[in-house]
Amino acid sequence: MDHKRIEWLFFVVFFLIDIYLGIEILRSPVNLSNADTTTRSVASIRNEMKSDNIDLPDKISDAPDSGYYLATKNRDYLSGKVSSLTNVNARYSKSDNVLYGEPRQAVLLSKKPKEALEQIEDFKNDSKNIPYGKEFKYEPDMSSEDNYVFVQNSDYGEIYANSAQLNINVKNNQIINFTETYMGQASPVRELQSTISAWRAVRAMYTDRELTNNSRVTQVKLGYSKLTEVRGSTILLPTWLVWVENKTTKNITMKRVNAYTAQMLQSSTYNVEK
């Protein structure tokens, strides 16, 4: 296939993606300056949350942020890397696009958490252990003592998706195994756009009854989540990620809010084990 034909195919694909995103925006209009709670002051809503025994972080920004629609190519990035992983026993599952690996020799870790994390980072960043390891960033709010979670990083922010995640499992201060998924490089498909604020996202969750009584918001971050797939590409959009702890059970759930429309994303929650 000649170079001009490849350029033409890329143009067609991204043109179709642009049409799709335009339709999505029209189907989900949002007025960032006129929310459904404009008649109620910030203080009033905070007081309502307090009466419902919902705790918030000391500071939640009410300033808008910004982000892109991003696209990644749906390709098999990991299977061709197995032969180069000389320090681990690795196999790739095409059915779920997951790379599985375990060290061939014991990788002992310090009993000090900070030093142990540094050792795990060194292990991750060695291309003989894990492919694309340097592109993954540690996510403490999704990790536990025996499961270190890393999310795929991009030039535009972290990607929070099952298909862009590295999990390194530890037992008795030793790396046991890991699983990895990888989405490839992300590129903008639309211009930079303003998003709602972190406070607006939390407020929308409360008014949509996504924040239950007797809960605590422990963290709010802006990242990217999967929106859909179009013509062999995965579309990502800016998302406010909100970690909510149940005060009784201590279970932590991460919920996702569309950072453009303030709507909850479908299949938006999963429990974070601590």
Q: What pLDDT digit, counting tens, does each position of 225-248 carry?
A: 999 999 899 999 999 999 999 999
User: Whole-angstrom Cα distance, residue 255 to residue 242?
Assistant: 5
Mean pLDDT for 143-162 is 96
**Going by DSSP bridges, is the β-strand pair 147-154/136-138 parallel, antiparallel, or unpaired?**
antiparallel
Percent of the chain with pLDDT over 90: 77
pLDDT above 80: residue 34: no
CATH superfamily of the domain spanning 3-71+187-272: YycH protein, domain 3-like (2.40.128.690)
- Give the number of residues written for the chain: 274
Position 230, amino acid: V
Closest by CA to 56, choosing from 247, 267, 217, is 217
The domain spans of the chain are 3-71+187-272, 76-180
pLDDT above 90: residue 49: yes
Predicted local confidence at residue 43, as pLDDT = 81
Q: pTM for the full model?
A: 0.84
Query: Is 76-180 in the same CATH topology as 3-71+187-272?
Result: no
Q: Compute how many other C-beta atoms are within 10 angstroms of the C-beta atom of residue 111.
A: 7
What angle do helix axes 198-207 and 42-51 make, rounded to 10 degrees? 50
pLDDT above 70: residue 116: yes
**What CA dihedral angle connects 4, 188, 136 and 221, to 10 degrees?**
-170
Predicted local confidence at residue 205, as pLDDT = 95
CB 242 within 8 A of CB 78: no
Report whether CATH 3.30.310.160 matches the domain 76-180: yes
Mean pLDDT for 176-195 is 96
pLDDT above 70: residue 31: no
pLDDT above 60: residue 3: no
